[in-house]
C-alpha cells in the first residue's frame, strides 16, 4: 500500500534531474547512435533490400531499433539508479526515511521507465526524417512501449540490487539483453531464417516483444500479437514477484 506519495515523487524528481544534468549521456548519445543505424541500415543497405511484408526495409527496422534502445536503456537506467545509492552508502538514508520499499521502487522504476519512453518517442520522431513511417495502431503502440519500459526497468532495479560491482551491473545489458535483441528480429523477419533456426528463435523472448511492437506499426508480425502481449505480461508478473520477494527478505538492502 502506498502511504507516502511524496517519497515517490521526491525520488522520481531526483532521478529525472540527474538525467537533466547528464543530458548528453542520457538522451543525446542514444539518439545519435540509433540515428546511425537508420543511416547505415535504413538508407545505405535498405535501398538494396526488397520489401518485407509489404514494408520497406528502412521502415521495417524502426520498431526493432526503438525496442533495442528501450530494453537496454530501461535496464541500465534503473540498475544504475538503485546501485549508486548502495555503492555510496546513501541507500541506508533512503531506507530509514518514512518510505516503504514499494515507494522507493516506484520512484526509481518510474523515473527509469519515463526516461526510456521519452527516448523511444524522440527516436520515433527522428525516424521520420530518414524513412516513411505509418503507425496502424498508435494507442496499442504506446501501451506496448509503456509496458516494456516499465517491465525492463523492474528488471534493471532487480539487477541493481543484485550486483556487487560495476562488472555485474554491465553484464546483463551488454552481454544478455543486447545480443538477444539483435537476434530477436530487430533487423530481419524470422521468415528469412531456415526452419530450424525459426524454431530456435522462438525461445528468445525478445522476438515476441519486437514482433508485437512491429505489428502495432504495420500489422506485420512473426508471432501473433496476442502472444506478444501474453509474454510481456508474464515477464512483468515474474519481475513483480521477484521485487516482492526482495522486499520481504530485505535481500541486499539490509546490512
| Mean pLDDT of all residues in 183-195 | 88
37-46, 98-107, 211-220: least confident range: 37-46
185's torsion region: left (phi>0), alpha (psi -120 to 50) or beta?
Answer: left
What digits encode the pLDDT tens for the residues 240-251?
999 888 878 878
Instruction: Please state, in angstroms and rounded to a whole number, the distance separating the CA atoms of residues 211 and 151.
Output: 17
Contacting residues for 188 by C-beta, under 8 A, at least 6 apart: 52
Top-ranked range on mean pLDDT: pick from 103-107, 165-169, 205-209: 205-209
pLDDT of residue 147: 95
Give the model's confidence band at 44: pLDDT under 50 very low, under 70 low, under 90 confident, else very high.
Answer: low
Question: Tell me, what's the pLDDT at 244?
Answer: 85
User: pTM for the whole thing?
Assistant: 0.90
CB-CB neighbours of 169 under 10 Å: 22
- Map out the domains of the chain as residue ranges: 5-249
Confidence of residue 71 (pLDDT cuts 50, 70, 90): very high
Cell representation of residue 53: 511484408
pLDDT at 86: 82
DSSP secondary structure, 41-60, as one string: IIIIIGGGS--BTTB-HHHH
Task: Identify which has the larger pLDDT, 100 or 180.
Answer: 180
Listed as own residue / partner, the contacts of 231-236 with beta carbons closer than 8 Å and 24 or more positions apart are 231/205, 232/144, 232/147, 232/148, 232/151, 232/208, 233/147, 235/151, 235/205, 236/147, 236/150, 236/151, 236/154
User: What is the arithmetic mean of pLDDT over 55-61?
Assistant: 86
What number is the average pLDDT over the span 130-157? 93
Amino acid at each position: 500500500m502506498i502511504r507516502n506519495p511524496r517519497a515517490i515523487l521526491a525520488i522520481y524528481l531526483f532521478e529525472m534531474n540527474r538525467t537533466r544534468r547528464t543530458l548528453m549521456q542520457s538522451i543525446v548519445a542514444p539518439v545519435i547512435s540509433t540515428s546511425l543505424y537508420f543511416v547505415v541500415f535504413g538508407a545505405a543497405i535498405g535501398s538494396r533490400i526488397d520489401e518485407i511484408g509489404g514494408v520497406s526495409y528502412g521502415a521495417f527496422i524502426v520498431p526493432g531499433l526503438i525496442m533495442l534502445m528501450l530494453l537496454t536503456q530501461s535496464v541500465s537506467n534503473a540498475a544504475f539508479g538503485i546501485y549508486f545509492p548502495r555503492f555510496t552508502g546513501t541507500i541506508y538514508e533512503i531506507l530509514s526515511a518514512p518510505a516503504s520499499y514499494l515507494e522507493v521502487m516506484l520512484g526509481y522504476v518510474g523515473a527509469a521507465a519515463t526516461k526510456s519512453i521519452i527516448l523511444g518517442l524522440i527516436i520515433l520522431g527522428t525516424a521520420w526524417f530518414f524513412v516513411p513511417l505509418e503507425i496502424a495502431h498508435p494507442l496499442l503502440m504506446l501501451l506496448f512501449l509503456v509496458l516494456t519500459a516499465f517491465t525492463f526497468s523492474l528488471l534493471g532495479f532487480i539487477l541493481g540490487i543484485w550486483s556487487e560491482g560495476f562488472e555485474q551491473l554491465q553484464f546483463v545489458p551488454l552481454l544478455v539483453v543486447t545480443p538477444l535483441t539483435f537476434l530477436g528480429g530487430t533487423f530481419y523477419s524470422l521468415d528469412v531464417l531456415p526452419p530450424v533456426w525459426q524454431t530456435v528463435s522462438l525461445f528468445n523472448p525478445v522476438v515476441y516483444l519486437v514482433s508485437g511492437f512491429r505489428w502495432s506499426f504495420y500489422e506485420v508480425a512473426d508471432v501473433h500479437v496476442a502472444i506478444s502481449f501474453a509474454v510481456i505480461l508474464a515477464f512483468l508478473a515474474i519481475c513483480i514477484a521477484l521485487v516482492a520477494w526482495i522486499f520481504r527478505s530485505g535481500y541486499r538492502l539490509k546490512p
